[in-house]
Structure 1
Amino acid sequence: MKKTKIAITPDSLGHMGGTRSFLLTLLSLHHKNNIATVLAIQSNQLDKLLLEFCVVKDIEILLLKPRGRLFHKPYFSILYDIYVYLQLQRKVRPSLILASIGSPRLLTGLFFFNTPLIYYVHTYPEMSSRKSKGMDLITKYLVNSKQFVISVSNFSKSVISQYMNVPEKYIDVIYNSVENTNKAVVSTEKKDIILTVGHVEEYKNPNIWYLVAKDVIKEMPSSVFQWVGEGSLLESMREKVKKDRLEKNIVFEGLSNSVNKFYKSATIYFHPSLIESQGIAIAEAMSFGLPCVGSNIGGIPESILDQETGFILNVDDVKGFSEKICLLLKNEKTRNDFGVRGQKLAAEKFSKSTQEEKIMTMYNQILEEVK
């Protein structure tokens, strides 16, 4: 693939989460395989750490104008997509475009063109969202054998097919991956820390999370709930903790560039999201040997195997979440059994080697067809 030039263009890229983890993994894969690569990224999404990463990996960068609020709306979004395509053709002329999507239906305008496309979707339309017939016609009739749609879970695949009218034969599932070199920590010397990693936003269910934390703390006063991540609700949640005088038991850490230290010191991982395509943090937690408690939403049940690597409960089941977390805190053997199984599952299902092999196979298949 030495003569191949691949353009990677992410949209709705955050400072953490599966979309960002995937991008870093993908850029590393390209560097390892000597693939000529251009990262076409909106200027407001290129932070210092990502820039330094691209310099180290010898990744060329093409800065794009930010997608304004207007161009997130149906139909108007296509105009921005066309701008992205024209910039790529004018300055890069790629053999293949990989669009990494962090918000449903963005960059669907790329399906209008003949350049081979991989539309890599890290989320899914909400089941309650209103379908846009005009937008859906794009993916229903324009997707072809040179244009693959990739989902990060079987649940997401089903929803994308139904709500974006993409024929299932053009959708494949490739789970996001995690490092599998982490050793399970089973020491009884750790504090009783219940960890959550992710954006502090409504879709991560912080209100239910907080009620669960208060319930568990009443039962087990030495327990500590940690939430690592930034978001629009971060300060309001910190104020709630302060008002309830629970600063010793509930800590919103904010954004961290070294999340691994939190996984290493945690006892249980808790993930009660309202929306989740896969839940990369769950896979990361399992790779550290943590038992997991999560909601029965989206792709989470594909990551947490109920009563094998953790527990799955209804998204609003405060009592159930609290009881299962307390059960794990009180039962070291169950914690360790779940943790060992979870680490094995992470190594088998969410390994970087599996993800990379599938991506390289897909590249070769698409590019072979256009020779």
Structure 2
Amino acid sequence: MKKRLFVSIDFPPEAGGIQNYVHGIISNLNPADSFVLTHTHEKAKEFDHEQTYKIFRTSMKGNKFKNVLVLFKLIIYLIYLKYKIKYDEIHFGNVYPIGLVGPIAKWVLHVDYYCYTHGLDILSLKNTKRTYQSLLFILRHSKKIICNSKYTSEKVKEMGFSNENIVIVQPGIHEKPDVKHNLTEIKDRYDLHNKKVILTVSRLVERKGHDVVLKALKTICRDNPDIRYVICGDGPYRKTLEKIVHDYGLNQSVIFTGTLDNDELEGLYLCSNIFIMPSREIKENGDVEGFGIVFLEANYYGLPVIGGNSGGIPEAVLDQTTGFLVDPLNAEEIRVKLKELLTNEALAKQMGENGKKWVVEKCFWKHRVKIIEQLN
């Protein structure tokens, strides 16, 4: 059995999409043959102690003046771990800049390495020629390029790589323990009793599409005062969204929860009727949704979903089956789909059930990692 060392700047207990992706893969592989080298974190001790696999930590972050030193220290650490744990291959959860040590490790330590790409990470590097050339150098010498979606794989092909170079491993979700939640308490806290609840869970940034949802809800909530739009998460776009809510007169209909722990978030999924996140691509920033793991989370809890038809979202939303894909900039189309799911309870229930079945049968991490186990 091959021993795999995963090297990633982004890793729990730090929160985020890449963090969850890398952790999801590792925690479903054989812990005796899986190891992690990641960045230091003030809350790492408790998290690391709870894992079944071994985690090593060192400083991996630095500005452009410190990156050379960081990379030098990283290659020394890789040499040390090669002799300590005798790994056979390296998996870079972040392709850049830490992937720059990949070719060195390949030539000096005689190990293959794999690069994981997530969409935004590679698109954001295209604007700087030197950085982009470095990225191409890393990818050309990797054994395989692992993409989180077909969308991301198409972007990699545009960079000159073929299907033979690429493996697609879509994000999955963890199987959920059967936990009973006090839904009455959650409904009390957010005034959700006898309400139709529309939910978005995401970081509050422009691309997620909250603003277009609010525009769609402007007329829906005027005619349906019992609708509540619950926005979970935080981020730099929150003040803008709060102003839009005020300008549209939606103060009584929209709830900002901020960042929540997993228990309360699961409770809100169970209190909701529809999940929506019409993410859009912001091309000037290379900002795009690489997949959209939250759609699988929502489906798992039996919710029909509405997602923006952009980036990798069409792989996370089965249009007309688990929910609807919409033009992420078309507030009227979003309004129509929301109204359809709010009024047609049979359709909403069927889509939610379809989504739950799909996730349980095909979208858990235990299904995804089979591809990693078969890499050669």
**TM-score, length of structure 2 as denominator length:** 0.80
CA contact (8 A) 1:98 1:119 kept: yes
2:361 is aligned with 1:361: no
Aligned partner (choices 286, 311, 315) of residue 328 of structure 2: 315
1:289 corresponding residue in structure 2: 302
Rate the CA distance shift 1:244–1:139 in 2: closer, same or farther, 3 A.
closer
Residue from 162, 167, 186 that aligns with 1:172: 167
Match of 1:55 in 2: 49
CA distance in structure 1 between the aligned counterparts of 2:28 and 2:11, rounded to whole angstroms: 21
CA drift at 1:241 = 3.7
Would the alpha carbon gap of residues 148 and 322 (structure 1) be closer, same or farther in structure 2, given more than 3 Å must change?
same
Is the CA contact 2:71–2:101 (under 8 Å) kept in the aligned structure 1?
yes
Please, which of 70, 75, 79 is the counterpart of residue 64 of structure 2? Answer: 70
Q: Greater shift after overlay, 231-240 or 322-331?
A: 231-240
Contact 1:271 1:294 in 2 (8 A): yes
In 1, Cα distance between equivalents of 2:76 and 2:207: 34
Question: Where in structure 2 are the equivalents of 1:236-255 lying within 5 Å?
Answer: 236-238=240-242, 240-241=244-245, 246-255=250-259
Written as runs of structure 1 = structure 2, the 5 A alignment for 1:194-273 is 194-238=198-242, 240-241=244-245, 246-258=250-262, 259-273=265-279
The separation in 2 between residues aligned to 1:240 and 1:14, in whole angstroms, is 33
Give the whole-Å Cα distance in 1 for the aligned partners of 2:142 and 2:122: 27
2:148 to 149, 152, 156: 152
Any stretches of 5+ residues in structure 1 without a counterpart? 184-188, 366-371
RMSD after superposition: 3.1
With 330-339 and 104-113 compared, the bigger mean Cα shift is at 104-113
Shift of 1:142: 5.8
Q: Residue 20 and residue 248 in structure 1: after superposition, are their counterparts in 2 closer, same or farther (change >3 A)?
A: farther
Q: Deviations over 1:107-132 (max 9, x none)?
A: 33134220321211223468697455
1:211–1:124: structure 2 CA closer, same or farther, 3 Å change rule? Answer: same
Tell me which moved more, 193-202 or 105-114: 105-114
SS in 2 for 1:29: coil
| Contact 1:212/1:318 (<8 A) preserved | yes
Instruction: Find the residue that maps to 1:70 and give its secondary structure.
Output: coil
> Could you tell me how far apart the structure 1 residues matched to 2:343 and 2:177 are?
24
**Aligned partners of 2:8, 2:14: CA distance in 1, in Å?**
16
Separation (CA, whole Å) in 2 of partners of 1:143 and 1:240: 43
Give distance in 2, aligned partners of 1:173 and 1:279: 15
Alignment equivalent of 1:42, drawn from 19, 39, 43 = 39
1:4 & 1:286 partners in 2: Cα distance?
34
Matched residues, number: 345
SS in structure 2 at match of 1:224: strand
| Residues 313-345 of structure 1, C-alpha deviations (whole Å, 9 max, x = no match) | 111001111111111011100101111111222
Which runs of structure 2 are paired with 1:119-138 in the superposition (5 Å)? 119-124=115-120, 130=126, 132-138=128-134
Per-residue deviation, 1:252: 1.7
Q: Distance in 2 between matches of 1:22 and 1:251?
A: 28
Give the one of 101, 106, 112 matched to 2:103. Answer: 112
The answer to whether the 8 Å contact 1:108/1:138 transfers is: no
The 1:158–1:190 alpha-carbon spacing in structure 2 relative to 1, beyond 3 Å, is farther
SS across alignment from 1:34: helix
Partners of 2:314 and 2:242 in 1: CA distance: 30
Relative distance call for 1:36 and 1:341 in structure 2 (3 A) is closer
Q: Is 1:299 matched with 2:312?
A: yes
Q: CA deviation at 1:160?
A: 2.1
**Structure 1 residue 22 and structure 2 residue 16: aligned?**
no
Give the aligned partner of residue 185 of structure 2.
Answer: none
Q: Is the 8 A contact 1:78 1:108 kept in 2?
A: no
| Distance in 2 of aligned mates of 1:194 and 1:242 | 18
